[in-house]
Structures are given as C-alpha cells and as structure tokens.
Amino acid sequence: GAVVSQHPSRVICKSGTSVKIECRSLDFQATTMFWYRQFPKQSLMLMATSNEGSKATYEQGVEKDKFLINHASLTLSTLTVTSAHPEDSSFYICSARTGGDSNQPQHFGDGTRLSIL
Amino acid sequence: QKEVEQNSGPLSVPEGAIASLNCTYSDRVSQSFFWYRQYSGKSPELIMSIYSNGDKEDGRFTAQLNKASQYVSLLIRDSQPSDSATYLCAVNLAGGYQKVTFGTGTKLQVIP
C-alpha cells in the first residue's frame, strides 16, 4: 500500500520551456502532498506543501510564480516549472501523506530528473 | 543548532556487522519520527516510523527512541552491501504544522 506515482521520470528540454510534473497517490487519498528538490550530493529541500483544494504553502526563498502547484483532487498534485532555466535543473521529488494527521509518514514518488539545456 | 542533526558519515561497517545510525532533534515535544533510506540517484523510501520511547523492530531494522534525551537511532543487524545508502532521519517537530523536518542524512557503506 501507499504507492505514489510520479511522472515523468526524466525531462530534458530547452531553456524557456515550462515543464509539468505529476504526482499521484495510487491507493490512498492524499490530503497533503509535498514537493522537494534535491541537487547532487545535497540534502532534500522542501519547496512547498500542497493541500487539496487550497493554495500551496511555499518555503522561504521559493518563488511561487516560478513553481506553480495545483492540488485539485485527493490523488493528484502537479508542479509546473515555468520558463525553466539551466539553474532549475535538479531532481524533483513529491511525497504524499494519508489523511490530515501530520504524524503519519510521507511516501515518496520516484522523482523527476529535470535537465534544462 | 540544526533542528534535526545527523552525522553525514560515511559510516563504514563490514558485512554482517551491526550498523548504528543516530539522529538528534531540537524540540522536546516532537511526537513522530521516521527513518528513510535513499539510494544514490533515487528517491527516499520509508523504513520505519516510531512514536513511543523504546525499541521497535522490523526484520533486521530496529528503531530506538529516547524522547528525554531527544535522540532516535536506527540499528541495522547483519548489514549487507545492499544496505549501502544514505539514511535520512525525519522528525515531526512541534510547530512544524503539517511537515516533517529531514536531517541531512548519514551515508552508510557496508564493506563486503
């Protein structure tokens, strides 16, 4: 149980392109989803917390107009990197948590490796 | 002081030995604690959750929690080369609202 699917797994595109990443909870309803970014050999960095039906909460320093998050249903959240540039190249990982209980663990998708040329 | 601290390692242990990974946290009233394993280039996967003081065992893994001393540890018995990965400690800090705070991880190397 608690399977999170993330697509695409890898994206290579030109600078200026917008890229959408999908995160789905396959066998549970995820009230809360999280988006992380991880640069090589560095630790996970939380970008934003996404709640179904409401606006995402962004961490300090993360541009909400650059990284658009939509959590329209209990099983799907999307992250759109708008007008991506080479410095946005990173490993983007989503996670989902069952219910509204913050004591429940997060389950991670397989991640999306984004490369901007 | 970081909110969740782990020694970055690498921690090297011989195959078959016990690997001991430690994590300290800053907030005394934290309620939930998690250990994740992350292989290089992959996303984290949940190993264990622990909520009460004491030990919790799952196969070769044992999580230990001591809230008074504000530390949580993970023991891996009979370590295998396939256990070589980075182990992340995550804590639901009080005031953390919906999110958990991750440590920077300890890299474990199991030497055949």
* pLDDT tens digit sequence for B18-32: 999 999 999 888 889
> Over the stretch B73-86, which tens digit does the pLDDT of each residue have?
999 999 999 999 99
Q: What's the pLDDT at B88?
A: 97
DSSP string, chain A: ---EEEE-SEEEE-TT--EEEEEEESSS-EEEEEEEEE-TTS--EEEEEEETTSPPEEPTT--TTTEEEEEEETTEEEEEETT--GGG-EEEEEEEEESS-TTSPEEE---EEEEE-
| Residue-averaged pLDDT of chain B | 93
Report the pLDDT value the prediction gives residue B92, as an integer from 0 to 100. 86
A110 neighbourhood in chain B, CB within 8 Å: 42-43
Interchain CB distance below 8 Å, A43 and B103 = yes
**Residue A2: closest C-alpha in chain B:** B46
Read off the pLDDT of each residue in B47-52 and give the average, rounded to a whole number. Answer: 95
| Nearest residue on chain A to B32, alpha-carbon basis | A103
A79 CB near a chain B CB, below 8 Å?
A: no
Q: Given CB atoms, is A107 within the 8 Å cutoff of chain B?
A: yes
* 117 residues of chain A, pLDDT tens digit each: 789 999 999 999 999 999 999 999 998 888 889 999 999 888 899 999 988 888 899 999 999 999 999 988 889 999 999 999 999 999 999 999 876 677 888 999 999 999 999
Q: How far apart are CA B82 and CA B15, in angstroms?
A: 10
Q: Are strands A19-25 and A4-7 parallel, antiparallel or unpaired?
A: antiparallel
Give the closest of A43, A49, A108 to B45, CB-based: A108
Contact of B94 with chain A, judged by CB distance below 8 Å, is answered with no
User: Which chain A residues are Cβ-neighbours of B97 within 8 angstroms?
Assistant: 102
Per-residue pLDDT tens over the stretch B52-103: 999 999 999 999 999 999 999 999 999 999 999 999 999 987 655 667 889 9
Residue B43 is nearest to which of A103, A104, A109, comparing CB atoms?
A: A109
